[in-house]
Structure 1
């Protein structure tokens, strides 16, 4: 799924994000609000991932995500 669709359907998809990355809080999801760059930063902050690892994980996740 392309990122514009993820951003547009963030409220429906955010549960899937929390399932994928359980260390993200509800406040994190609210702050992210569909913004990929903020999601990348939050994943680096919560998990200590390198930037390239974060990008890889998000790319893999976004390819497989489905809206409800």
Structure 2
């Protein structure tokens, strides 16, 4: 998993993240700015899921989009 690549190209990955997690707003994704922990937190908040589930989803996203 190469989160550094996602963070460095966040503007490109932002659209993919929003397509994957439709409940996240542009403002949410602007706040995230490619930071993994921020993304996990926003997913938890918007979807009401546990941290480990949000982390699994982010890991799956990373595997399929990098």
Give TM-score, length-normalised by structure 1. Answer: 0.93
Segments of structure 1 that go 5 or more residues without pairing to the other structure are none
RMSD: 0.9
Distance 1:56 1:25 in 2: 20
Segments of structure 2 that go 5 or more residues without pairing to the other structure are none
Q: Match for residue 31 of structure 2?
A: 31
Distance 2:49 2:40 in 1: 9
Give TM-score, length-normalised by structure 2. Answer: 0.96
Q: Which runs of 4+ in 1 moved over 2 A?
A: none
How far off is 1:50 after superposition? 0.3
Q: Match for residue 56 of structure 1?
A: 56
Paired positions, count: 66
Q: Deviations over 1:23-68 (max 9, x none)?
A: 00000010000000100100000000101101111101100004xx
Q: Within 5 A, what are the aligned runs for 1:1-68?
A: 1-66=1-66
